Amino acid sequence: MALVFRPAVVVATVLLAVAGAVAGIGSAQPAGRAAVVVLNGSVGPGAVITLTDAQGYPVTNVVEGDYSIVVADQGPSHNFHLLGPGVDQATGVAETGTTTWNVHLQPGTYTFQCDPHQAVMKGTFVVTSAPVATTTTTKRKAAAPVVVGTVGPGFTIRLSRSGSRVMRLKAGRYTFRVSDRSTAHNFTLERKRGGFDRAITSVRFVGTKTLTVSLTKGSWEFYCSPHERTMHGDFTVT
């Protein structure tokens, strides 16, 4: 059987093609940087020098950061000189044309001027610190402890907490949850020496009502208004 030899140049060409393909994998263009803010400077042809934003308004106050300063120098007897914290850029007096400076403006006052005529061709603007993101945490009030009141169906009235009769409580906010089981009674809460007197349920009401109260130090009482002599209880707040 006759052997056939392919020229080496063909093999070399194939290898180069494969190498080129491999080299091309993952060689995408780098992602572009985020666009910076553009400010437009102008000087000349008369005795005029300006610095404006993209909308054409004079620049008086900007936030610190990266900026592109695009300067149109239109006067062979003028120049545009920008100077301030970290920046000192100027066009040539005899030169005209457009120049772009990429600068980082820091907090402080910046000046732009024509050096030969700075007495009459000059402006300033202020750079303020970038706002700092802050997180505000709102503290929620703790839920008020619950005390349970019951009245009726007979001539009974009771105030309990966690199943035990209330004799003493610490000063603070409490939620009174009253279960009224009779149309002949009600549940009234009162501070003995004044300052608070509230009927949590009405006489003809049957059901459950709640009321959150700030208990202050002193003697408190609860009772059925129509039958206070026989349906009555008290507790102390310390």
pLDDT of residue 151: 97
Q: Quick one: pLDDT at residue 132?
A: 77
Inter-residue contact 178 to 187 (CB < 8 Å): yes
Q: How far apart are the C-alpha atoms of 38 and 32, rounded to whole Å? A: 16
Q: Which of 204, 210, 190 is nearest to 147 (CA)?
A: 210
80 located within any domain = yes
User: Across the strands, what pairs with 76?
Assistant: none
The H or E element that residue 8 is part of is helix 8-24
Give the confidence band of 51 by pLDDT, cuts at 50, 70, 90: very high
What's the rounded mean pLDDT across residues 53-77?
95
User: Does a structural domain hold residue 26?
Assistant: no
The residue among 100, 128, 156 that closes a domain is: 128
User: Using 50, 70 and 90 to split pLDDT, how confident is the model at 35?
Assistant: low
Beta bridge partners of 90: 81
Q: Is pLDDT of 154 > 80?
A: yes
- When divided into structural domains, the chain yields a total of 2
How many Cβ atoms from other residues are within 10 Å of residue 38's Cβ?
A: 12
Share of the chain above pLDDT 90, in %: 77
86 contacts: CB under 8 Å, gap ≥ 6: 103, 104, 105, 106
Q: Are residues 200 and 118 in the same domain?
A: no
At residue 13, the pLDDT reads 40
117 and 199 part of one domain? no
Pair (233, 154) in one structural domain: yes
Q: Is residue 1 scored above 90 in pLDDT?
A: no
Task: Please give the mean pLDDT across all residues of the chain.
Answer: 87
**Backbone phi and psi for residue 22, each to the nearest 5 degrees, phi listed first:** -65, -40
Same domain, 41 and 117: yes
Q: Provide φ and ψ at 177, rounded to 5°.
A: -110, 105
Does residue 10 lie in a domain region?
Answer: no
Tell me: do 150 and 226 sit in the same domain: yes
Q: Region 141-168: what's the mean pLDDT?
A: 94
Establish if 29 belongs to a structural domain: no
Q: Does residue 227 sit within a domain?
A: yes
Domain membership flag for residue 5 = no
**Average pLDDT of span 178-206:** 94
Which of 1-5, 79-83, 161-165 is predicted with the least confidence, judged by mean pLDDT? 1-5
The CATH number for 101's domain is 2.60.40.420
Contacts of 54 (CB under 8 A, 6+ apart): 37, 38, 40
pTM equals 0.45
| 116 and 157 housed in the same domain | no
Residue 88 structural domain: 37-128
* C-alpha closest to that of 54 among 64, 73, 67, 45: 67
Which residues fall within 8 angstroms of residue 195, CB to CB, at 6 or more apart? 216
Please indicate, yes or no, if residue 231 is contained in any of the structural domains: yes
Phi, psi of 116 (to 5 degrees): -70, -20
Residue 67 shares a structural domain with residue 103: yes
| Beta-strand pair 97-105/157-161 | unpaired
Over residues 159-187, the pLDDT tens digits come to 999 999 999 999 999 999 999 999 999 99
Is 88 a domain residue?
yes
Nearest to 147 by CA among 135, 161, 167, 165: 161
Do 162 and 108 share a structural domain?
no
The residue among 95, 128, 161 that closes a domain is 128
Q: How confident is the model at residue 34 (pLDDT cuts 50, 70, 90)?
A: low
